[in-house]
């Protein structure tokens, strides 16, 4: 499959009940999609690329990549797994589709609202998300976390790479300097700790560590799972 053919191979499942609070995010990512990888390249090369494989260590089977964006995780999908990547922005998905041929996994891409996933309960063995919840309003974060908990079922795992409050005073000051630009470009916040919200979504933290001075890798399992 050529890159152009891959770009057309997106299952455009549109969830019409998208909350109004997500419309600004959709407009922002539609606007920035053609330039996203270029703008993000210093962060990708300097931080993200080396830590993305941590999302998938030990995972297999049917996986959800929640907020797949332009597909930066695709190259790290476990070989032989079945991965569904979902995102709110069709423009971002189109760019992700060009990367699907680089994966040893069976990859499907779908336009979908993370707060209302169109999958059955327990459909996935695990769900991952990278730098997604830092871009969502609080009420949408909780709804999306509850959906991840639902679609992985009682025995599944949820694994997140997310920005968290920096470990040092210097890094916290630097984050405050960067925050206005990050908000404009990505609609993201750098000082929220997603770990504090997982219990509200009936998810229990089973692992948490800083993988850089400002980024946490968090794993959770459903309460009662």
pLDDT tens, residue by residue, 79-132: 999 999 999 889 889 989 999 888 999 999 999 999 999 999 999 999 999 999
Q: Could you say which architecture CATH assigns to the domain 3-222?
A: 3-Layer(aba) Sandwich (3.40)
pLDDT tens, residue by residue, 29-52: 666 666 666 676 677 777 888 999
Instruction: Give the whole-angstrom CA distance, residue 125 versus residue 143.
Output: 20
Strand order in the sheet with 215-222: 106-111, 82-87, 62-66, 126-130, 157-163, 215-222, 203-210
- Mean pLDDT along residues 179-198: 70
Checking if the pLDDT of 15 tops 60, the result is no
Nearest to 135 by CA among 88, 100, 83: 88
pLDDT at 16: 38
Query: What does the radius of gyration of the chain's CA atoms come to, in whole angstroms?
Result: 16
CB atoms inside a 10 Å sphere around CB 180: 9
For residue 5 the two structure tokens come to 């053919």
Checking if the pLDDT of 14 tops 50, the result is no
pLDDT at 17: 41
Please say whether the beta carbons of 69 and 36 come within 8 A.
yes
pLDDT at 7: 41
Checking if the pLDDT of 71 tops 90, the result is yes
Average pLDDT over the chain, rounded to whole? 82
pLDDT at 174: 65
- Mean pLDDT along residues 178-183: 61
- Mean pLDDT along residues 143-155: 95
pLDDT at 190: 62
Classify strands 203-210 and 82-87 as parallel, antiparallel or unpaired: unpaired
């Amino acid at each position: 499959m050529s890159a152009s053919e891959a770009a057309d191979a997106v299952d455009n499942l549109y969830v019409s009940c998208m909350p109004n609070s997500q419309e600004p995010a959709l407009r922002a990512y539609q606007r920035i999609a053609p330039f996203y990888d270029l703008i993000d390249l210093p962060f990708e090369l300097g931080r993200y690329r080396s830590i993305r494989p941590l999302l998938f260590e030990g995972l297999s089977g049917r996986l959800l990549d929640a907020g797949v964006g332009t597909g930066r995780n695709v190259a790290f999908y476990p070989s032989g797994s079945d991965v569904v990547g979902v995102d709110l922005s069709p423009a971002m998905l189109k760019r992700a589709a060009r990367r699907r041929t680089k994966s040893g996994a069976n990859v499907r891409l779908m336009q979908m609202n993370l707060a209302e996933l169109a999958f059955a309960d327990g459909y996935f063995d695990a769900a991952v998300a990278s730098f997604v919840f830092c871009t969502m309003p609080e009420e949408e974060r909780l709804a999306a976390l509850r959906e991840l908990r639902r679609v992985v079922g009682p025995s599944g795992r949820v694994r997140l790479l997310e920005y968290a409050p920096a470990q040092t005073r210097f890094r916290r000051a630097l984050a405050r300097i960067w925050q206005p630009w990050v908000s404009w470009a990505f609609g993201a916040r750098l000082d929220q700790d997603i770990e504090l919200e997982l219990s509200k979504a009936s998810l229990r933290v089973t692992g948490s560590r800083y993988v850089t001075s400002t980024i946490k890798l968090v794993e959770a399992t459903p309460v009662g799972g």
